[in-house]
């Protein structure tokens, strides 16, 4: 095997997880090319997104790093039902006994019952992008992490737009569809917003840094995703914690402004 082939083959255990305290009680875990988060409140944990299908061992390790155990997790919240976010949710549900929750409009996808909701449905959109090193890297990494064979969640408890969830961190639900039909974002009382893939700080398809929407190739409805930016724009939050990329601490309004500018730049390119 030559050197270039060697770097592309990643064993699940070889993925480094970088943990970072990002807000009071909130930790970010960069699990390869995606982020998941823990929100801690009086020793109990909300897990926000669950990485890849093969991420469970890393989630367990991440909990240990903050002195917690799987039994401390009392809620598993999903921004949306793509394989890099719901990945280990079913395993996490079984290991922790905590309910898996997502927006009502996302329940079918998370349960594997939505037509066109399989990981394979994303492939035709991604194939024309594979000339980009970033896209190829994402696809290889995703495949090694079990993206194409997700474990759907057997029991899902829905929440509604505007709900304030009675779980650690007391997040409020914002409905931010477009990337998927039922995508949700979570606003914490301290002005911290977890945006999943409604607004990211690196596009996993192009590797372009800075606040932006994910590439059209991976959105169910990009027009709707752009409309959802208006929902985020109204939010009083200084810190944005995205599904992909680094935290952004310069306020939501500026992040949305940048995302809009980057969308029109790529449309005219
Ligand atoms: Zn994603």
1-24: b or e for each residue (b if 16 or more CB lie within 10 Å)? eeeeeeeeeeebeebebeeeebbe
| CA–CA dist 213, 44 (Å, integer) | 32
| CA–CA dist 78, 94 (Å, integer) | 16
Over its length of 269 residues, how does the chain's per-residue pLDDT go in tens digits?
444 444 444 444 567 789 999 999 999 999 989 999 999 999 999 999 999 999 999 999 999 999 999 999 999 999 999 999 999 999 999 999 999 999 999 999 999 998 888 877 887 888 888 888 888 888 888 888 888 888 999 999 999 999 999 999 999 999 999 999 999 999 999 999 999 999 999 998 888 889 999 999 899 999 999 999 999 999 999 999 999 999 999 999 999 999 999 877 665 54
**Cα of 1 from ligand 1 centre, angstroms:** 31
Q: What is the pLDDT of residue 248?
A: 98
**Cα of 143 from ligand 1 centre, angstroms:** 14
**DSSP assignment letter at 70:** G
**Cα of 197 from ligand 1 centre, angstroms:** 6
Protein residues placing their CB within 5 Å of the ion ligand 1: 84, 197, 243
**Cα of 145 from ligand 1 centre, angstroms:** 13
**DSSP assignment letter at 129:** G
The pTM of this model reads: 0.91
100 close to 200: Cβ distance less than 8 angstroms: no
Q: What is the pLDDT of residue 148?
A: 85
Q: What is the pLDDT of residue 24?
A: 96
**Cα of 79 from ligand 1 centre, angstroms:** 9
**Cα of 178 from ligand 1 centre, angstroms:** 13
**Cα of 80 from ligand 1 centre, angstroms:** 9
- The partner residues of 20 in beta bridges, in order of sequence, read 28
| CA–CA dist 181, 190 (Å, integer) | 27
| CA–CA dist 156, 153 (Å, integer) | 7
3-state secondary structure of 38: strand
Q: What is the pLDDT of residue 133?
A: 87
**Cα of 34 from ligand 1 centre, angstroms:** 6
């Amino acid at each position: 095997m030559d050197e270039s082939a060697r770097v592309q083959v990643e064993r699940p255990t070889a993925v480094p997880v970088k943990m970072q305290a990002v807000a009071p009680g909130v930790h970010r875990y960069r699990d390869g090319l995606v982020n998941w988060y823990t929100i801690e409140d009086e020793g109990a944990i909300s897990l926000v997104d669950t990485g890849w299908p093969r991420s469970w061992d890393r989630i367990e390790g991440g909990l240990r790093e903050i002195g917690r155990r799987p039994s401390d997790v009392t809620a598993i919240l999903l921004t949306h039902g793509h394989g890099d976010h719901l990945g280990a949710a079913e395993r996490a549900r079984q290991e922790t006994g905590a309910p898996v929750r997502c927006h009502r409009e996302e329940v079918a996808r998370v349960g594997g019952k939505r037509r066109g909701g399989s990981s394979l449905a994303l492939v035709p959109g991604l194939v024309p992008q594979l000339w980009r090193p970033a896209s190829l890297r994402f696809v290889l990494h995703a495949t090694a992490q079990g993206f194409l064979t997700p474990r759907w969640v057997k029991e899902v408890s829905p929440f509604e737009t505007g709900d304030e969830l009675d779980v650690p961190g007391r997040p409020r639900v914002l409905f931010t569809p477009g990337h998927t039909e039922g995508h949700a974002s979570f606003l914490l009382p301290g002005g911290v917003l977890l945006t999943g893939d409604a607004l990211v700080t690196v596009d996993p398809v192009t590797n372009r840094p800075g606040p932006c929407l994910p590439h059209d190739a991976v959105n169910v409805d990009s027009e709707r995703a752009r409309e959802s930016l208006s929902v985020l724009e109204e939010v009083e939050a200084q810190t944005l914690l995205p599904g992909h990329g680094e935290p952004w601490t310069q306020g939501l309004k500026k992040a949305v402004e940048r995302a809009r500018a980057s969308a029109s730049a790529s449309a005219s390119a």
